[in-house]
Amino acid sequence: MSRFLVQGWCPGALRPMLSGDGLVVRIRPDLGRLTPAQARGIADAARAFGNGQIDLSARGNVQLRGVSDATHPALIEALTALGLIDPDAEAEQRRNILVTPFADAETLALAAQMQVALAQMPALPGKFGFAVDTGPAPVLSGIAADIRAERAADGQLILRCEGAALGAPVTDLAVAAVALAQWFVAAGGVSEGRGRMAALIARGAVLPGALAGRLAPAPAAAPPGPGLRAEGALLGFAFGRMQAETLAALAALGPLRVTPWRMLLVQGLRQLPDLLDVIRAAGDPIRRVEACSGAPACLQGLAPVRDLARRLAPQVPPGKRLHVSGCAKGCAHPGRADITLVATAAGFDLIRNGTAAAQPDLRGLPADAIDLKGLF
């Protein structure tokens, strides 16, 4: 089993994280939206102050790579001019709200209320997050969030704890969200600065009357794939990675909505652009594979992983998932996969129907000898 360091926090722009290719600077677009000017500015900044590589995270954020201590101050100055920087690192960390990319005006207004309420929240763990998913059917159910705003089948607005099947009907989302966060802290959800709502619920914590769940959310919709939608063109990227030139080209096509599926929605676009890095087909095999940066881009990665992931993608049947991880931390896909390959000092371990931290079925496989035919 490969060893790894659990940081317990996520990088930001004001508090970047050191990786093997320099500082990782995470930008949290306001309500998951980027204007054309902001997207173009990020592309310019990635080239000027980083290595020109841009990642889309599973939290709907944009990450610049290859930034150095010397270039970081100028990068922050450029991002501040674009309206993308919070007053301080604490405010940046708090603004961990994921908004459905398909939000209408009402959903965006609710998300804005939630964002304003963050200032009234108690101190919460660094990874504690919120989801505003109040369309007719939730689309973010497969994405981790501690407190969820959703709709019941009859359209009522509900607030639901991660790990709980039912949500409480609410009229003032901001007030209810603050109360739920306060309950989480008071009920012992935080330990040594860490903690998640699902773990607290699993321990049997009981919500007080007004916050107790009574309504089920509407049935969830399946995560979308690349293609044209009513809102615009949804575009994928292998492992969420693109070059700065691609983002600049997309900025010329319209406003962007950042998704937690490592895709971008180009608002109002009625045709799929033929650009470098862009995945346009929902059935592209590379979309069945999750892979982190691996070595040498990640300090904890024990081997390169993305070339291996690309080679194995055609062997992954539709409906199945392959996860190739540089260590047992499994950042790219914390959940279970049909097959997970984990880099170790002795080769790759193979895990079936488990996470990267699970016990392997096979150990020490040489990368160039791995063949997954017949294993799914």
Q: Could you report the per-residue pLDDT of 118-154, keeping only the tens digit for each?
A: 999 999 998 899 999 999 999 999 999 999 999 999 9
Give residues with Cβ within 8 angstroms of 302, minimum separation 6.
2, 295, 326, 327, 343, 344, 345
Average pLDDT on 322-334 reads: 94
pLDDT at 79 over 50: yes
Average pLDDT on 62-90 reads: 97
Cβ contact 294:263 at 8 Å:
no
Residue type at position 7: Q
Cα 176 from Cα 180, distance rounded (Å): 6
Would you list the domain boundaries of the chain?
A: 17-87+231-279, 102-211, 285-369
pLDDT tens-digit readout, 16-35:
999 999 999 999 999 999 99
pLDDT at residue 1, as a whole number: 44
pLDDT at residue 334, as a whole number: 87
pLDDT at 5 over 70: no
pLDDT at residue 7, as a whole number: 54
Give residues with Cβ within 8 angstroms of 56, minimum separation 6.
62, 63, 237, 240, 241, 242, 258, 259, 262, 263, 264
Check the CA dihedral 106-108-110-113 and report its sign. negative
pLDDT at 14 over 50: yes
Q: Which band of pLDDT confidence, cut at 50, 70 and 90, is reported for residue 95? A: very high
Q: Which band of pLDDT confidence, cut at 50, 70 and 90, is reported for residue 224? A: very high
Average pLDDT on 312-341 reads: 95
Average pLDDT on 343-362 reads: 96
pLDDT at 101 over 50: yes
pLDDT at 210 over 70: yes
pLDDT at 9 over 70: no
Q: Which band of pLDDT confidence, cut at 50, 70 and 90, is reported for residue 220? A: very high
Residue type at position 116: V
pLDDT tens-digit readout, 332-345:
998 899 999 999 99
CATH number of 17-87+231-279: 3.90.480.10
Residue with tokens 């990782």: 24
pLDDT tens-digit readout, 226-242:
999 999 999 999 999 99
At the topology level, CATH places domain 285-369 in Sulfite Reductase Hemoprotein; domain 1 (3.30.413)
pTM of the model: 0.92
Q: Count of CB atoms within 10 A of residue 229's CB?
A: 13
